[in-house]
Amino acid sequence: MLPRLIIRSSSIHAAGCYTTQPIRKGRRVVEYGGQRLSKDLADKRYANRDITYLFTIDGTTDVIDGFGTAMFLNHSCKPNCQTVGVGKGKKERIFIVALRNIAAGEELVYEYNLCDSDEDDLEDTAACYCGAPKCRGTMYSDEELKRRAKHARKKERSDAKKKAHR
């Protein structure tokens, strides 16, 4: 049985998910469930939207389109939860699990580690507003930050070549 949760105002972002009872370290808090779609279909479906609740399933070309309780867990650079995959491939299920003992009334947060961003939008920083003492300033994963920096360098070189040929 999963712990009792409540959605209410959050100082991090609009609404957040809070526990109404203590949660033991390692316990499943909530499943990130929803319709499974191909990344291509999700890209088409959400082409003109700023906010999505898509969760990438490692090792597949699918995402979970998560509209449920889990969508209210905010990002934090000092998380008290983490995501854990159970199963493999297209049958994998994603759970949010407590990283430490969590007291009743605490907001449940995990590190989003966003990836697969739009390469044409290098201005998007996926700014983080978690307020943690060592906030990274972004919700992007380290790998995504490296990928974006590499893409930006490539674009700068290409733009410089074009300018030189004018």
pLDDT of 68 above 80: yes
Does residue 51 carry a pLDDT above 90? no
Domains in the chain with CATH codes? 5-164 (2.170.270.10)
The three-point CA angle 122-63-94 to 5° equals 115
For the cut 70, the answer to whether the pLDDT of residue 120 exceeds it is no
Q: Tell me which residue of 68, 98, 73 sits closest to 12, measured CA to CA.
A: 73
Phi (first) and psi of residue 44, to 5 degrees: -70, -45
Alpha helices in 11-141 (DSSP H): 39-45
CA pseudo-torsion sign 146, 151, 154, 156:
negative
50 sits in the region (left: phi over 0; alpha: psi -120 to 50; else beta) called: alpha
pLDDT in tens, 16-37: 999 999 999 999 999 999 999 9
Asked if residue 19 lies in contact with residue 105, where contact means CB atoms within 8 angstroms, the answer is: yes
Mean pLDDT for the stretch of residues 108-115: 93
Residue type, 27: R
On the question of pLDDT at 97 being above 90, the answer is yes
Report the DSSP pairing between strands 35-38 and 28-31: unpaired
Q: How confident is the model at residue 118 (pLDDT cuts 50, 70, 90)?
A: low
